[in-house]
Amino acid sequence: MSYGQNFHEFARYERQMGYASWGIAGQEKLKTARVGLVGCGGLGAAVALHLVRAGVGFLRVIDDDRVSLSNLHRQILYVEKDVANRCYKTRVAAERLLEANSGAVVEPLVGRLTVDTVESFMHGLDLVVDGSDNFAARFLLNRAAVRFRMPWVYGGVGGASGMTMTIVPGEGPCLRCVLSEAENSTDPLRDYGSAVVNSVVTIIAALQSTEVYKLLIDPASRNRDLLAVDVWDMSFCKMMVERDPICPVCSGLPGAEVGTHEG
C-alpha cells in the first residue's frame, strides 16, 4: 500500500513529503531502507531518533555500553532511571524509538564492532552511520565499508566542535585518505577527549541524518566535503578532500555506485 492510500502514514510524514526533493517516492525509499548505526551515545542516540521518526524502516544498532550519569547531558534517549537500572543503551534505545514510531523495526545489539563482528553487523544493510567515540572503530568500519562497497557517514565531536563526512567507496576518498594520522595515533580510545558541549552533538547528528536521507533518496545530492563546525566560534567550514592514490585501503578500488541491500 502506498502512502497515498494509507491515511495514517501519510498524515505522519506529510510535512517532510511536502519537500519537493523528498516526496512520496522518497518516503517509500526510507520505508524499505536498512540502516546500521555504530554506537548509541551522543551522536548515535540523536541520529537514531531522527532516522526512526523520519520513517527509516529498519535500524540495526550496536553498542556495548550501559547508561551512566555523565551521559545524560547529551544523550537524548536516556533518563535517570536508566542509570539507576544500569540499562544497556541499545535495549533502552530500541524501546524509546518504538514508542516514537511503532512501525519501525529496531534491532539492538549489545556488543562492540570488532573484526569478528563487523561482517555480520553490516550484512543486509544499505548504509551505515558512525556514532562511535573512537577512531579504532571508525577505521574498522571504513575498511569493511570499502570491502563491501557500502556508503557510510562519519561523525565526531569534542569540546564545542565536530566534523562529518559522507563516504561512498569508489566515488571519493575513504576515511583513511583524509585522516591517516589518526589511524596511527597512540591514543586509540577517544578521538576528541571527554569534554563536549551538547549542542554540537545535536548539530553533527542532524547533519549525519540528513546525509542518510540524501543517500537513500537522491545519492547525487550528498555532501562531498569534510564539514567542520564550531558552535562556540560559530564557524562552519567545508574542506574539499581528495582520494589518496596510494591509500592502503581504497587506492585499488574502481568506481562504484551506491548499492542496495541484500535480500
Structural domain including 121 reads 16-240
The answer to whether residue 253 sits within a structural domain is no
Residues 256/168, Cβ–Cβ less than 8 Å? yes
Model confidence, pTM: 0.92
The answer to whether residue 232 sits within a structural domain is yes
pLDDT at 261: 39
The answer to whether residue 262 sits within a structural domain is no
Residues 1/27, Cβ–Cβ less than 8 Å? no
The answer to whether residue 173 sits within a structural domain is yes
Where are the strands (E) in 9-151, listed by range? Answer: 34-38, 58-63, 105-110, 127-130
pLDDT at 253: 86
> Structurally, how many domains does the chain consist of?
1
pLDDT at 188: 45
The answer to whether residue 89 sits within a structural domain is yes
Count, in order, helices (H) and strands (E) of the chain: 10, 8
The answer to whether residue 71 sits within a structural domain is yes
pLDDT at 184: 64
pLDDT at 185: 58
The answer to whether residue 175 sits within a structural domain is yes
10-residue averages of pLDDT along the chain (263 residues): 68 97 97 98 98 98 97 97 98 98 98 97 98 94 97 97 97 93 58 82 98 98 96 96 94 58 38
The amino acid present at 212, given as its one-letter code, is: V
Do strands 161-167 and 58-63 pair parallel, antiparallel, or not at all (unpaired)? Answer: unpaired
Residue 59 belongs to a domain with what CATH number?
Answer: 3.40.50.720
Give CA torsion, residues 260, 183, 206, 211, to 10 deg: -30
Residues 221/21, Cβ–Cβ less than 8 Å? yes
Q: How far apart are CA 209 and CA 213, in angstroms?
A: 6
Q: Which of 224, 206, 219 is nearest to 51 (CA)?
A: 206
pLDDT at 252: 87
The answer to whether residue 3 sits within a structural domain is no
